[in-house]
Amino acid sequence: MEYNHKEIEARWQQYWRDNKIYKAEIDSARPKFYVLDMFPYPSGAGLHVGHPLGYIASDIFSRYKRLCGFNVLHPMGYDAYGLPAEQYAIQTGQHPEKTTMQNIARYREQLDKIGFCYDWDREVKTCDPKFYKWTQWAFMKMVESYYDTSLEKAMPITELVKHFESCGSEGISAACSEELSFSADEWMAMSAKQKSDTLMNYRIAYLGNTMVNWCPELGTVLANDEVSEGLSVRGGYPVEQKLMYQWCLRVSAYAKRLLDGLDTIDWTDSLKETQRNWIGRSEGAEMH
């Protein structure tokens, strides 16, 4: 009998889909295990050769843990926003929503053909309003919060306002862009704009002037890993350093918590050291 792998694979993969055999249900009787892959970004008409390699490794591990009795959650999604999707749409002369959804469908088809054990009920698309409404919600929470360095956590900006009204800047323990000094009377005498500017100095999400990698040809700011030897990785266009007034996140305020948290997780020493270097916490003085 001839081994018809195409027919057999298609039949069993359809069975897996119909019966949702990889769906993770809540089951307190079994230990939980979460396997998360890096989401591909659907900026072209299909997976590139580097994608499946990492997914095969995590798929093997997911199946192993499932056979060991774990309740495994192994989702998949698509990092579907940003420069790659935008540039692909420009190159093909189509709307980015159309190209992105077409590419996602192609990715899903290819992932299914490989036979990965994903729980597709947990699929994430970062271009879906049902997803990014929560990133917008999180952003607003950061705008309305400051980082209390004594409590080592975010607190409502309204608590800072109450402190300013009674004590001014004296005795505050808050991460900030620059140290400010004013009394309660001076705070109360400030205009609405002055108060807004002062609070911006403390908000976790704040507006500020920062140096960025600006690519005139692409019309956007690029991350450091999107630039190589002064040129954009995508397209090879010149990139220049430019001062830009933009939204920033006060991530450095969390450096101590991030570093302390590394001691509580089961990672290799080499990976932890990589994370410590990436966090890059430093102490010292700044001179002008």
The per-residue pLDDT for range 215-245, each reduced to its tens digit, is 999 888 898 888 999 999 888 999 999 999 9
256 inside domain: no
CA dist 78 and 43 (Å) reads: 10
The pLDDT of residue 256 is above 80 = yes
Please name the residues in contact with 279: beta carbons below 8 A apart, sequence gap of 6 or more: 255, 258, 259
Asked if 233 and 150 sit in the same domain, the reply is no
Asked if 105 and 151 sit in the same domain, the reply is no
pLDDT in tens, 47-58: 676 678 889 999
Asked if 146 and 115 sit in the same domain, the reply is no
Number of domains the chain is built from: 3
Asked if 25 and 36 sit in the same domain, the reply is yes
262 inside domain: no
pLDDT in tens, 191-202: 999 999 999 999
pLDDT value for 49: 62
Mean pLDDT of the chain: 92
107 inside domain: yes
Which of 62, 97, 125 lies at the terminal end of a domain, its last residue?
125
DSSP 196-262: HHHHHTTBSEEEEEEEEEEETTTTEEE-GGGEETTEETTT--B-EEEEEEEEEE-GGGGHHHHHHHH
Asked if 101 and 28 sit in the same domain, the reply is yes
The pLDDT of residue 1 is above 90 = no
Structural domain that includes position 216: 206-250
83 inside domain: yes
pLDDT in tens, 106-122: 889 888 889 999 999 99
260 inside domain: no
Asked if 156 and 193 sit in the same domain, the reply is yes
Asked if 95 and 176 sit in the same domain, the reply is no
Read off the pLDDT band of 251 (50, 70, 90): very high
Asked if 91 and 199 sit in the same domain, the reply is no
Asked if 215 and 197 sit in the same domain, the reply is no
Output 70 or 84, whichever has higher pLDDT.
70
The pLDDT of residue 60 is above 90 = yes
CATH code of the domain in which 110 resides: 3.40.50.620
Asked if 110 and 55 sit in the same domain, the reply is yes
pLDDT value for 128: 93
How much is the pTM?
A: 0.80
Asked if 145 and 97 sit in the same domain, the reply is no
The pLDDT of residue 258 is above 80 = yes
Mean pLDDT, residues 91-101 taken together: 87
274 inside domain: no
CA dist 45 and 140 (Å) reads: 35
pLDDT in tens, 133-173: 999 999 999 999 999 999 999 999 999 999 999 999 999 99
Please name the residues in contact with 114: beta carbons below 8 A apart, sequence gap of 6 or more: 52, 55, 56
43 inside domain: yes
Residue 28 amino acid letter = S
266 inside domain: no
**Residues, the chain, total?**
288
pLDDT in tens, 11-42: 999 999 999 999 999 999 999 999 999 998 88
